[in-house]
Amino acid sequence: MKYYGHLRRHDSIQRRILEGKIDGRRGRGRRRQTWLGNIQETYQMKMCEVCETALDRRRWRTVTAHLGDGMAPS
């Protein structure tokens, strides 16, 4: 989770890959879980809120501080 905050604050190839879309048709079957989807589900926040929070280092550290103890903010 801390790595996501790092990626959001820096303009890099990793950030572009993470946020990029692939052209073409979607595959058949169940949709795959995504890392961003897991972050969104864990913190019960909308994606825009997660992105804004990750840009502010202090807020992101506060949010990720309780990840391991099951007390993620709601």
The pTM score is: 0.49
Question: Do 44 and 74 form a contact (C-beta atoms < 8 A)?
Answer: yes
Burial class of 53 by CB neighbour count within 10 A (0 to 12, 13 to 18, 19+): buried
**pLDDT score recorded for residue 68:** 65
pLDDT tens figures, 29-65: 787 778 888 888 888 888 888 888 888 889 888 888 8
Sequence-distant (6+) residues with CB within 8 A of 35 are 4, 18
In 3-state terms, what secondary structure has residue 24? coil
pLDDT top residue among 38 and 21: 38
